[in-house]
Amino acid sequence: MKPSGPALYDAVLLDRDGTLVEDVPYNGDPEKVRPLPGAREALDRLRAAGLRLAVVTNQSGLARGYFTEREMHAVHARIEELLGPFDHWAVCPHDDTDGCACRKPAPGLVHEAARTLGTAPRRCVLVGDIGRDMAAALAAGATGILVPTPVTRPEEVAEAPAVARDLPGAVDEILRRDRAVRPVVPRTGRAGTVLVVRSDSAGDVLLTGPGIRAVAAGAERVALLCGPRGRAAAELLPGVDEIIEWPLPWIDGSPEPVDPDDMRRLTARLAAVDADEAVVFTSFHQSALPLALLLRMAGVPRISAISDDYPGSLLDVRHRVPVGVPEPERALSLAAAAGFALPAGDEPVLRLRADLPAPAVDRPAGDYLVVHPGASVPARACPPERCAEIVAALAADGHRVLVTGGPGERELTARVAAAGGTDLGGTTDLAGLARIVAGARCLVVGNTGPAHLAAALGTPVVSLFAPTVPFGQWAPYRVPTVRLGDAGAACRDTRAARCPVAGHPCLSGVDPARVVAAVRRLAPG
Ligand SMILES: [Zn+2]
């Protein structure tokens, strides 16, 4: 049966040497072309799924005179003979000294391929064998999947948003992700009132937006239960008719003790929604089951959630998701399991409602960057002295730098902005911050709410990403991004709220010069 809703990808972009064919350095000889095992069959599966294919390849051998353009075309003809046709070949003929916009890790080839194939980079996935491929994909806003070879460096593997064992494995993952976000058995008729749930902070609520939009497209009415820290983000989401704010002690990072009276009041409040069904969105380390019990007690007849734990009679749709899936797709896949798809004309991206509340401050005029030094979780914040050095370096490179932060971060923003920026700390609510970020060339920020605000607004992100949680799951979604910070630091995958390593090395080592270079890559000119 054909899945419903928009596909996750329109096109797959493939690196050539080491990904499609054996890497023969500076090869100008068709006789030396050797496809990698399983490549033909894997590509044919993508073609059969209706995906368009392009090759994106650095060929500096042209600039260096090691082979001619004619020889390269002969090699490409041989590759097509062995692997089937490609819809486009995007080739960078330059070397590192040319400073071109196309040589990976620059995103130019991804832009060219997407344009030629009639789509956008965010609707493309790039498969390649080294860090340059992943960096080019991210800088264009595309998805990246690394297929390491013996020459791939360990730090490139650590930094990659996703890793597959080989090209057939990457193709499995591409097709699996697409199937997961689209219901195979769509609902007949609209649901009535659906209660959707996403506790936790602003970023989590924003990442659930596509899943909530899918539910809203198939429901008469949507009520959202969120926590106090997610309330402001909930107000920015399209598709939400009513917001219920309630802290959940099994979700909160610093929870209050469970109060039986409070749980009774919550159950009564949930019953008052009179929902026909509930979809409980969670992150991979949270349990939907305590709330499912309260929803049952509130009389909700149909409940869908992700649960590895046995749910007994608490869930009607028990969904399971492998690790490493981007959070927005995790949410969309639960919506799909419950029978909800994004409508035609929508697509899997973060979005804010068109009628944002009136801002408390005006959007700054002119050209500027935003540095947001704070983070909702301390382990994910770049140290203030390093943020100050980043502001100083950006100012020295000729940028106007605005420093933003919440009301509780005024001291931090004042300190960071003193290095050469303008301090806007505490002057805006989340909607006001959205206005400022929307007008920025680029946002420099850790793994925290404003990164996802930028993703929803299409503003490129220099992500100072502490590896305490997987980058592939929490990276700014489908927006041009450069990842900085030590992906292999000892805090990796600890989910620590406070950095467990003396000196916070994953982010304290970020070189301000690399932030300047990242801004140039994301927002040239
Ligand atoms: Zn080039």
The DSSP-derived string for 5-42 is S--S-SEEEE-SBTTTB---TT---GGG--BPTTHHHH
Residue 408 CA, distance from chain mean position: 27
Amino acid letter, residue 348: P
Residue range 39-88, pLDDT digits in tens: 999 999 999 999 999 999 999 999 999 999 999 999 999 999 999 999 99
Q: In sequence order, which residues have a C-beta less than 8 Å from that of residue 244 and are 6 or more positions away?
A: 223, 224, 225, 226, 269, 270, 273
For residue 354, is pLDDT > 90?
no
Q: Hey, which residues does 126 pair with through a beta bridge?
A: 13, 144
What CA–CA distance (Å, rounded) separates 370 from 376?
17
Residue whose C-alpha is closest to residue 37's, from 52, 22, 53, 54: 22
- Residues comprising the chain, all counted: 525
* Element containing residue 194 per DSSP (H, E): strand 191-198
What CA–CA distance (Å, rounded) separates 467 from 471?
7
What CA–CA distance (Å, rounded) separates 325 from 490?
22
Residue whose C-alpha is closest to residue 510's, from 460, 453, 446, 455: 446
Q: What residues flank ion ligand 1 with Cβ within 5 A?
A: 92, 94, 100, 102-103
C-alpha distances (whole Å) from 416 to each of 382, 383, 458 are 11, 10, 25
- What percentage of the chain reaches a pLDDT higher than 90? 85
Annotated catalytic residues are 15, 17
Q: Are 519 and 462 in contact (CB under 8 A)?
A: yes
Distance 375 CA to ligand 1 centre (A): 37
The tokens 């899945």 sit on which residue? 3
Residue whose C-alpha is closest to residue 374's, from 328, 433, 327: 433
Q: What is the DSSP letter of 363?
A: P
For residue 253, is pLDDT > 90?
no
Residue range 444-478, pLDDT digits in tens: 999 999 999 999 999 999 999 999 999 999 999 99
Enter the tokens of residue 428: 């805006």
Residue whose C-alpha is closest to residue 34's, from 46, 18, 56: 18
Q: pTM (2 decimals)?
A: 0.95
Distance 60 CA to ligand 1 centre (A): 8
Per DSSP, the three-state class of 263 is helix
Question: Residue 499's pLDDT is what?
Answer: 83
Distance 30 CA to ligand 1 centre (A): 23
Distance 95 CA to ligand 1 centre (A): 7
Q: What is the DSSP letter of 431?
A: H
Omega of the bond leading into 105 within 30 degrees of 0 (cis): yes
Distance 90 CA to ligand 1 centre (A): 10
What CA–CA distance (Å, rounded) separates 140 from 502?
35
Residue range 122-179, pLDDT digits in tens: 999 999 999 999 999 999 999 999 999 999 999 999 999 999 999 999 999 999 999 9
Helices (H), 84-165: 108-116, 131-140, 154-159
Residue whose C-alpha is closest to residue 83's, from 53, 57, 63: 53
Residue 471 CA, distance from chain mean position: 8
What CA–CA distance (Å, rounded) separates 1 from 214?
20
Residue range 305-350, pLDDT digits in tens: 999 999 999 999 999 998 889 999 999 999 999 999 999 899 999 9
Q: Hey, which residues does 92 pair with through a beta bridge?
A: 58
Distance 371 CA to ligand 1 centre (A): 30
For residue 376, is pLDDT > 90?
no
Kindly indicate the confidence band of residue 1, based on its pLDDT and cuts at 50, 70 and 90. Answer: low
For residue 393, is pLDDT > 80?
yes
**H, E, C per residue of 157-178:** HHHCCCECCCHHHHHHHHHHHH
CB atoms within 10 A of CB 404: 29
Distance 370 CA to ligand 1 centre (A): 29
Kindly indicate the confidence band of residue 359, based on its pLDDT and cuts at 50, 70 and 90. Answer: low
Enter the tokens of residue 103: 């040589």
What CA–CA distance (Å, rounded) separates 98 from 92?
11
Per DSSP, the three-state class of 47 is helix
What CA–CA distance (Å, rounded) separates 417 from 373?
10
Per DSSP, the three-state class of 44 is helix
For residue 358, is pLDDT > 70?
no
What CA–CA distance (Å, rounded) separates 269 from 262?
10
Q: Hey, which residues does 14 pair with through a beta bridge?
A: 55, 127
What CA–CA distance (Å, rounded) separates 40 from 38?
6
**Biggest alpha carbon–alpha carbon distance for the chain:** 78
Q: Are 159 and 483 in contact (CB under 8 A)?
A: yes
Distance 434 CA to ligand 1 centre (A): 35
Residue whose C-alpha is closest to residue 206's, from 195, 196, 198: 198
Residue whose C-alpha is closest to residue 463's, from 439, 440, 487, 431: 487
Residue whose C-alpha is closest to residue 26's, from 53, 54, 61: 61
